Amino acid sequence: MERSGFTIAIAVWNTMPATDGPCTTIYGYVPHSIALGSGFQAGTYLVRANDVTTTFAVR
């Protein structure tokens, strides 16, 4: 995670096993939380996770 001004960039990736074992083609989701930190000044912030973006406002 990188925070610069009013923009927060998060890089998310999947890892693959290092072995050449059989593939079961089972794909799943694992929920995670990322702490964005504190000390936000008032304004609208842009959050970008890979190619998905959203905004939130601090008042």
Q: State pTM to two decimals.
A: 0.72
**Can you give the pLDDT at residue 1?**
93
The strands making up 43-49's β-sheet, listed across from edge to edge, are 2-4, 7-10, 43-49, 52-58
Tens-place pLDDT, residues 25-59 = 677 778 889 999 899 999 999 999 999 999 999 99
Instruction: Residue 22: count other Cβ atoms within 10 Å of its Cβ.
Output: 6
